[in-house]
Amino acid sequence: MRVLVMMSGGVDSSVAAALLRDQGHDVVGVTLKLWGGESDSGCCSVSDVDDARRVADRLGIDHHTFNFADEFTTHVVGPYAADHAAGRTPNPCIECNRHLKFDAVDERARALGFDAVATGHHARIVERPDGTFRVARGADRAKDQSYVLHVLDQERLARTILPIGHLTKDEVRSLAAGLDLRTATKPDSQDVCFITRREGRGTFLGDRIPLTPGRVVDTAGATVGSVAAVELVTIGQRKGLGLPGGTAPRYVVDVDRTTSTVTVGGPSDLLVAEQPVDRLAWADGPVDGPVEVQTSAHGSTAAATVRTAPADPGRAVVVWQEPHRRVAPGQSVVLYQGDEVVGGATATD
């Protein structure tokens, strides 16, 4: 097959490219230029492009750079800022996967005559007896990235290869070392790739959306602290709330944007019986029975059922088996059965 492998300049995609080559595929590497601004790492900096190019040289495969900076700004950075302004806590990596890696790049790959696209995500794609596909957890549960790939639909899954999903991170690094790849010991990328550590989220968002100071109150309504920007506060947050120390931990349990009020409470105040969601998409049809639900990139799962309303199939309510911490609006809610992703949605208020 002709395979276009997305090489970020990290160790995972380096090994993904090597494995595809060794399997006899006709492999071309591509690095995406996604962000024109400053970046510590991620998919955007010149030094990461250099790493990807040098790995491709080492593997003897062609390497190209695609500039999708406009699409990235439109589909990832813009919505990231707008979501914060609207009181949501977005997952930009998921939007990047949805709109860039498995949409714009896949479209380009088709046009260029490639049979498949590949990435270095720690996840697997399994084919079920009925011929449909599902995203499944990678072999390394601690590095598993199936959560951020839940947006892949059947059409995308049929054209996607995840070559390192069956490997642990240690195995990936040792394969890279064995191939003498320069990325073998490169640290994993962290955080949001388009925001630098030096600049920080507050400055980044402050340049793009108005930030509103807010009052912090307890569940009885008494003012206990203040925040510089309610747009930066997320459900479940503990720090940066201007609270006096020495008391039991208190968490953000609610953010009211209309009055710029942040409510804090104890861990039990965060617990809810149900979680409303929208943008619900099933991998291959609705699941009536119990599912395990993951609400953050590397979190654990909790048992629940999904109650859908026939009138609006995009909206649903996740009914927790045991009371569960409220999920910040905007966060992805991913539904599993065993290791397999059966659906995904976005938390709402």
Partner 1 sequence: MPDAYLDHAATTPMRPEALAAMVPVLQDGFGNPSGAHRWAREARRMLDDARDVVAAAVGAEPSEVVFTSGGTEADNLAVAGVTEATGRRPLCSAVEHHAVLRAIEAVGGTTVPVHPDGSLDLDALRAQLHEAPVGLVSVMLANNETGIVADLDAVGAVLAEVTPGAVLHTDAVAAAPWLDLPDRCRPAALVTLSGHKVGGPKGIGALVVRAGTPLVARQVGGGQERERRSGTPDVAGAVGFAAALAVTVAERGATVRRVESLRDRLVAGLRATVPGLVVVSPDDPAARTAGTALVAVPGLSREALVFLLDQGGVAASWGSSCASGATEPSHVLGAMGVAPEAAEGSLRLSLGWCTTAEEVDHALAVIPAAVAQLRAAAA
Residues that bind partner 1 (CB under 8 A): 31, 33, 46, 49, 53, 62, 64-67, 69, 107-108, 110-113
Cα dihedral sign for 187, 190, 195, 197?
Answer: negative
CB of 72 to partner 1, least distance (A): 12
Q: Nearer Cβ to partner 1, position 59 or 280?
A: 59
Q: Nearer Cβ to partner 1, position 53 or 208?
A: 53
Q: Nearer Cβ to partner 1, position 46 or 309?
A: 46
Q: Are strands 312-325 and 271-282 parallel, antiparallel or unpaired?
A: antiparallel
CB of 106 to partner 1, least distance (A): 11
- The residues near 315 (Cβ < 8 Å, ≥ 6 apart) are 276, 277, 278, 280, 308, 309, 348
Residue that the structure tokens 């397999």 belong to? 340
CB of 6 to partner 1, least distance (A): 14
Q: Nearer Cβ to partner 1, position 39 or 145?
A: 39
Q: Give the C-alpha separation, 56 to 31, whole Å.
A: 11
Contact 235, 252 (CB under 8 A): yes
Q: Nearer Cβ to partner 1, position 113 or 221?
A: 113
Q: Nearer Cβ to partner 1, position 57 or 312?
A: 57
CB of 46 to partner 1, least distance (A): 5
Q: Nearer Cβ to partner 1, position 68 or 147?
A: 68
**Does 44 participate in catalysis according to the annotation?**
no
Closest CA to 76 of 107, 44, 46: 44
CB of 48 to partner 1, least distance (A): 9
| Catalytic residue ranges | 96, 193
